[in-house]
Amino acid sequence: MGNSTKGTLISFDGVGMGYRSGARVENLSFAVEPGEIVALVGLNGAGKTTLMRLALDMLRPQQGTVRLFGMPLARLPRRTWKQVGAMVEVALAYPELTVRENLRIAAKLRGADPECVEAAMTEWHLEPVAERIFRRLSLGNRQRTGLATALQHKPRLVILDEPGNGLDPASVIRLREHLTQRAAQGAAILISSHHLDEMARVADRILLMNAGRLIGELDTEQDDLERVFFERIRIDDEQRPESARGPW
């Protein structure tokens, strides 16, 4: 991909980086437009979390450029990060603070209306644990707290890594509805998951990642999506040169 399209909220242009272990991602090129939900799927170790960390400036690419809101990350004003809502791997929270305190701090840091806290508590059914210290929460309640803090300020760009982990079915449906609503309001959403069926329900596009590379898209309308997914991975593994194989 060349220069990002006007209005594109996140784009990768030939992005790559490697670790000392030999793991790497390479030639990552794609974009997410306003109002679009793009899902990233792949086997464990495919590079999905690395891609998410690159998107959030938690890692710096060795090649290529990541742009948010049309600007390279290196030049992105700090205030612009207030328009981003993200959760990568684990919920971002202060372990010794209560659920409500964590939501209030997150809202204040992003300059959001304080009233969004109570609305988020209701939406994610957190009232019963509002005064409980975060580190004492169950996995499901931690995940819902993380989603509430990431999404309560109605960000223009949403980046979520495996957000369904630990969620009960009702919360999975709530997440699906929330992301669909945010996209309808113009947000761009990038989400990684290994739940193919769930991604097919919510995503406009599904990007397939294997061995540190984007290898194409999956048709969200296709029958037996899981079989197609594994077949695409198998073919890519067979076609990949032996010299290119290794840890990712």
Please tell me the predicted confidence (pLDDT) of residue 1: 33
Please tell me the predicted confidence (pLDDT) of residue 242: 60
Please tell me the predicted confidence (pLDDT) of residue 75: 94
If you count them, how many residues does the chain have? Answer: 248
Using CB atoms within 10 Å of the CB of residue 204, give its burial: 0 to 12 exposed, 13 to 18 middle, 19+ buried. Answer: middle
Tokens representing 203? 């995503």
How far, in Å, CA of 246 to CA of 10, rounded?
Answer: 29
**What is the pTM for the complete model shown?**
0.91
Helices assigned H by DSSP within the chain? 48-55, 99-109, 115-123, 139-151, 169-184, 196-202, 225-239
- Give the class (CATH, top level) of 10-244: alpha beta
Pairing of strands 84-87, 71-72: unpaired
Residue spans of the domains in the chain: they are: 10-244
Mean pLDDT by runs of 10 across the 248 residues of the chain is: 60 94 90 97 93 96 96 94 92 94 96 95 96 96 96 97 92 95 97 89 95 94 89 92 53
